[in-house]
Amino acid sequence: MATKQSDDKILDTELLGRDVSFNYSGTWLGYSLLSLRIVMAWVFLQAGLEKWSEGGWGDPVVWSSRGFLENAVPGSNPLHGLFMWFADFAAVVDPLVVTGQVLIGIALLFGVLVRFAALMGGIQMLFFWTAAWQDGLMAGLPVEHGYVVDSTFVYLLLLFGLGAWGAGRVVGLDSIIEEIGIVQNNRWLRYLLG
User: In this structure, is residue 55 part of a structural domain?
Assistant: yes
Instruction: State whether residue 11 is helix, strand or coil.
Output: strand
* Per-residue pLDDT tens digits for 40-82: 999 999 999 988 887 655 554 467 888 888 888 888 888 899 9
Helices (H) and strands (E) in the chain, counts: 8, 4
Q: Which domain holds residue 78?
A: 35-191
User: In this structure, is residue 53 part of a structural domain?
Assistant: yes
**pLDDT confidence of residue 1:** 42
**pLDDT confidence of residue 112:** 95
User: In this structure, is residue 111 part of a structural domain?
Assistant: yes
User: In this structure, is residue 102 part of a structural domain?
Assistant: yes
Nearest to 130 by CA among 152, 161, 105: 152
- Crossing angle of helices 114-131 and 26-53, in 10° steps, is 60
Stretches where the chain sits below pLDDT 50 are: 1-3, 60-61
DSSP 160: H
User: In this structure, is residue 71 part of a structural domain?
Assistant: yes
Domain count, the chain: 1
Backbone φ and ψ for 10, nearest 5 degrees, come out as -120, 130
Beta partners for residue 29, in sequence order: none
SS (H, E, C) 61-114: CCCCHHHHHHHCCCCCCCCHHHHHHHHHCHHHHHHHHHHHHHHHHHHHHHCCCH
**pLDDT confidence of residue 44:** 96
User: Using CA atoms, how far apart are residues 50 and 37, in angstroms rounded to an integer?
Assistant: 20
* Per-residue pLDDT tens digits for 76-97: 888 899 999 999 998 899 889 9
User: In this structure, is residue 7 part of a structural domain?
Assistant: no
**pLDDT confidence of residue 62:** 66
User: In this structure, is residue 60 part of a structural domain?
Assistant: yes
Record the pTM. Answer: 0.83
User: In this structure, is residue 108 part of a structural domain?
Assistant: yes
Within 10 angstroms of residue 14's Cβ, the number of other Cβ atoms is: 8
